[in-house]
Chain A
Amino acid sequence: MIRVSEVVKYHGPVRILDGATLTAAPGQMTALVGPSGGGKSTLLRCINGLEQFQAGTVEAFGHTLVGGQPIPQASLQKLRRSVGMVFQQFHLFPHLTALENVMSGPVHALGKSRAEAAAAAEKLLERVGLKDKLDSKPANLSGGQQQRVAIARALAVEPSAILFDEPTSALDPHMVGEVLAVMRDLAASGQTMIVVTHDTDFARRAAVIHTMADGKVVASGPPDAVL
């Protein structure tokens, strides 16, 4: 369960989040939609502690972040192991192969052996349809392939939930499909996800949609009620 209550975030004098409140139930896909600049991505980044906020609370799987208080590194690390993230710009590690990218979390964050991590990473890359690209460096992969590696990388640390920050916005239109297919597959398998998206067709697959505007969640409910 992820519960965001009354989160307020300033960027200098600008109020980016203005008391945003939402919940995301486990085993479900939750979509976050709304106009650009409404605070969707910022809220997502607050949930796994990449952004600090001034007021309100974020609770995720037993970890709590309280706005305005300094958060110790250790508790941020614990939270992030439960809440993974997929970025708009992929942010794959360019000096590592696809396989090594997926292995990096288990090896460096969870302390697993390389052999164990490699076996798991291979399975995950197979699941996102990239079995033949294990040894490719990111620069030799298409945008769609890179984003699928990034999803496998997020899955590799077995988080309770994954946050997707506009995962298809940086892709050429013909590559959007392959990434969405992977995400649909994830949602169908009962993976808890929060997806920030402009794609209303894809948002319709969510159990709950939250619409954000001006830093607030202005409407929440099942797709038919909100869209």
Chain B
Amino acid sequence: MARYPLFAFAALLASLPASAQEKKPPLRWGTDPTGGAPFIYQNADGRYIGFEVELAEYLATKLGRESVLVDGTWANLPQQLNKSTDVEKGVDVILNGYELRRDMVEQFGVSRAYYAYRLALITRKEGGVAGWSDLKGKSVAVLGGSVAHDHLNKHHPDADIQPSEDVANVMKLVNDRRMDATVQDSPAAVHFLKEYPTLTTVGESVKAGYYVIYYRKADVELGEKLNAAIADGLRDGTFRRIYEKYGLWNDDQQELLPLLDQPWPPEMESTREANPWPRLFLELLKAAWITVKLSCLSFPLAVLVGLGVAVGRVYGPKWVGVPLGVYVEVIRGTPLLLQLYALFYMLPVFVQMFSPDLAAMFSPFVCGIIGLAVNYSAYEAENYRAGLLAIPKGQTEAALALGMSRWTAIRTVVVPQAIRIVIPPVTNDFIALFKDTSVCSAILITELTRKYNELYNFNRDLIVQLVFLTAGLYLCMSYPLALVARRLEKHLGKGDRGAA
């Protein structure tokens, strides 16, 4: 919706009488609008604003092209440069606080720096961390795959680092005492400290590097034009005006001017070890263990709850059955991701009103297990309901005729048979759940997929190997499971069929 005005504007331009100017293709710039203020965000009318939006518009105007925003996820947008511009969501450049990094420079064309940023350690004014040296064992949120993330990995490996995908939620978590601190680029820090008066920066902010624009290596001419436009913008004070508008101007930016006369990009030493594979593999393996734990703890819960719900729906009175039916439909009918968000970001806020201690227990891992268990319980309930309904009525009658109570008949005769019938679909769901654990990365759990994303961010040249390694690990986990299930099916199913 936010893009309608842009389209309208484009349509208006197109309808104007042809000017003398030759019609050029638009400048498609990739950005992640969820990355947040002050880079890019929506104002009250739903229009995108932010210092980078204004930069993009300035650059496009300089190039005599029209600025077109293309949205994507921050970590994956660089991949769009490997495709051509005319694919869906294709881009000419990516402009979204991308840092000057050796691994990126090796792959893509890089513009002159347009902003010098620092890393700020943000925490609560009261009860937060004392400084950079106080991070040991503290939960510290950071944008996954960013230089800030790399910085934490290298200099504060003993901190409890929680990679996240957005900044706004993380600030709130720190504010709500559910995280100890967060490390953010200085522009984000400036913006969010205005929004959260309870938060502050502590310690010296770390001088980290420059924001640059990346483009395809082949687009040499585009690169030259971008550099010329950036140089003009820096020299004539246009950038300063934009930065001041957002409170981002500082002395660091003065250094960008002399840099314009230096060779670019500067020499950067490789930060990677000679053979990264032992470390990468170990990190993936650790993350795979988190995936295993998430699955193996949540699925039994899902099965138990699901069985209870199914029994309640099939045999319970209406006042039990109807609410349970609503439960199943609501849980089945809404996305797991949304349920996890609700559980992790909203529920604790609600619980906090009654018991702060209880709210503190909603760690990402606990929320992940509860979320997966609740989500899958709805599917398991349907499996078991089908199983219960498939057991012939004569079975219950035979049990009743022996003098069993209705509940005993259900428990000892019907349920055990129903469980056996639905082993195949239930196993199927377990394997599906294994892979759905990846959704938990949205609530700051570094499971296998999240770890893959993080590693590939720092090792973009190894993407193919990492994809296969990660997929292989998933397969190593799910295939044995399939084998176990098949044996279970054979073992429990033996001699069960055929007798009515």
Interface residues of A (CB under 8 A from B): 48, 50, 73, 76-78, 80-81, 84-85, 87, 89-95, 104-105, 108-110, 136-141, 146, 150, 153-154, 156-157
Contact across chains for B401 and A95 when beta carbons are under 8 A apart? no
A139–B499 touching, CB < 8 Å? yes
CA gap between A157 and B392 in the complex, in Å: 23
Q: Report the nearest B residue to A89, measured CB to CB.
A: B500
Whether A104 lies near B412 (C-beta < 8 A) is yes
* B397–A139 CB distance below 8 A: no
* Subset of 15 A-B contacts with CB under 8 Å: A73-B405, A80-B401, A84-B401, A84-B402, A85-B398, A87-B394, A89-B500, A91-B392, A94-B417, A109-B403, A110-B403, A138-B499, A139-B499, A150-B398, A156-B402
- Minimum CB–CB distance from B440 to chain A (whole Å) comes to 36
> Are A157 and B499 in contact (CB-based, < 8 A)?
no
Cα–Cα distance between A85 and B408 once the two chains are bound (Å): 18
B496 at the interface (CB under 8 A from A): yes
- Which listed residue (B394, B403, B413, B495) contacts A137, Cβ 8 A? B495
B497 at the interface (CB under 8 A from A): yes
B83 to chain A, nearest CB (A): 56
A95 to B494, CA, bound (A): 9
Q: How far is the CA of A183 from the CA of B299 in the complex (A)?
A: 50
Residues of chain A within 8 A (CB-CB) of B494 are 137
B side interface size, CB within 8 A: 26
Nearest-Cβ distance from residue A198 to partner chain B, whole angstroms: 20
Alpha-carbon gap, A50 to B420, bound state (A): 27
Q: How far is the CB of B77 from chain A (nearest CB, A)?
A: 55
> What is the CA–CA distance of A140 and B496 in the complex, to the nearest angstrom?
9
- Check B23 for interface membership: any CB of A closer than 8 A: no
Kindly report which residue of chain A lies nearest to residue B494, judged by CB atoms.
A137
- Chain B, residue nearest A50 (CB): B397
10 A-B pairs closest in CB distance: A137-B495, A105-B402, A138-B499, A91-B398, A81-B403, A109-B403, A85-B401, A91-B394, A139-B498, A139-B495
Q: Can you list, as one digit per residue, whether each of B406-437 has a CB less than 8 Å from chain A (1) or not (0)?
A: 10100011001100100000000000000000
Tell me whether B349 is interfacial, beta carbon within 8 Å. Answer: no
Q: Does B6 contact A (CB under 8 A)?
A: no
Q: If A87-B394, A108-B408 touch, does A94 touch B402 (CB 8 Å cutoff)?
A: no
B395 touches A93 (CB 8 A): yes
Chain A min CB distance to B388 (Å): 14
Contact in complex: A105, B403 (CB < 8 Å): yes
Please determine whether A87 and B495 come into contact, CB atoms closer than 8 angstroms.
no
Give Cα A104–Cα B408 distance, bound, in whole angstroms: 10
B358 → chain A, closest Cβ, in Å?
39
* B497→A139 contact, CB < 8 A: yes
> Which residues of the other chain, A, contact B413 by a CB distance below 8 angstroms?
93, 104
CA distance A89 to B499 in the complex (A): 9
Q: Which residue of chain A lies nearest to B413 when distances are taken between CB atoms in the complex?
A: A93
Contact of B397 among A76, A87, A146, A154 (CB under 8 A): A87
Residues of A within 8 A of B400 (CB): 50, 76, 80
Complex: chain A residue closest to B404, CB-CB: A109
For B419, give the chain A residue with the smallest CB separation.
Answer: A95
Is the Cβ of A157 less than 8 Å from the Cβ of B496? no
- Is the pair B398, A109 in contact by a Cβ cutoff of 8 Å? no
Residue numbers in B under 8 Å from A105 (CB-CB): 402-404
Q: A138 to B498, alpha carbons, bound, how many Å?
A: 8
- Which residues of chain B are within 8 angstroms of A137 by Cβ–Cβ distance? 494-496, 499
- Mark each residue of chain B from 478 to 500: 1 if its CB lies under 8 Å from any CB of chain A, else 0: 00000000000000001111111
Known: A94-B498, A138-B495, A156-B402. 19 other contacts (CB 8 A): A77-B403, A80-B400, A80-B402, A84-B401, A87-B394, A87-B398, A89-B394, A90-B499, A91-B392, A91-B398, A93-B398, A94-B499, A95-B496, A105-B404, A108-B399, A109-B408, A139-B496, A139-B498, A153-B402
Q: Is the CB of A48 within 8 A of B401?
A: yes
Most chain B CB inside 10 Å of its own CB: which residue of A93, A138, A141: A93
Which of A48, A91, A154, A156 neighbours the largest number of chain B CB atoms within 10 Å of its CB?
Answer: A91
**Chain A residue at minimal CB-CB distance from B396:** A91
Partner of A140, one of B394, B406, B417, B495: B495
Quick check: A146 and B499 within 8 Å, CB to CB?
yes
Q: For the complex formed, measure the closest distance between the CB of A103 and the CB atoms of chain B, giving whole angstroms.
A: 11
A109 to B405, CA, bound (A): 7
- List B contacts of A95 (CB < 8 A): 416-417, 420, 496
- The smallest C-beta distance from B364 to any residue of chain A, in angstroms, reads 41
A48 to B401, CA, bound (A): 7
Nearest CB in chain A to that of B500: its residue: A89
Q: How far is the CB of B161 from chain A (nearest CB, A)?
A: 50
Query: In the bound complex, how far is the Cα of B397 from the Cα of A139, in angstroms?
Result: 19
Q: Cα distance A92–B398 when bound, in Å? A: 8
Chain A proximity mask over B433-455: 1 for CB below 8 Å, otherwise 0: 00000000000000000000000
Measured between alpha carbons, how far is A85 from B404 in the docked complex, in Å?
Answer: 13
Known: A87-B394, A87-B397, A137-B494. A92 touches B499 (CB 8 A): yes
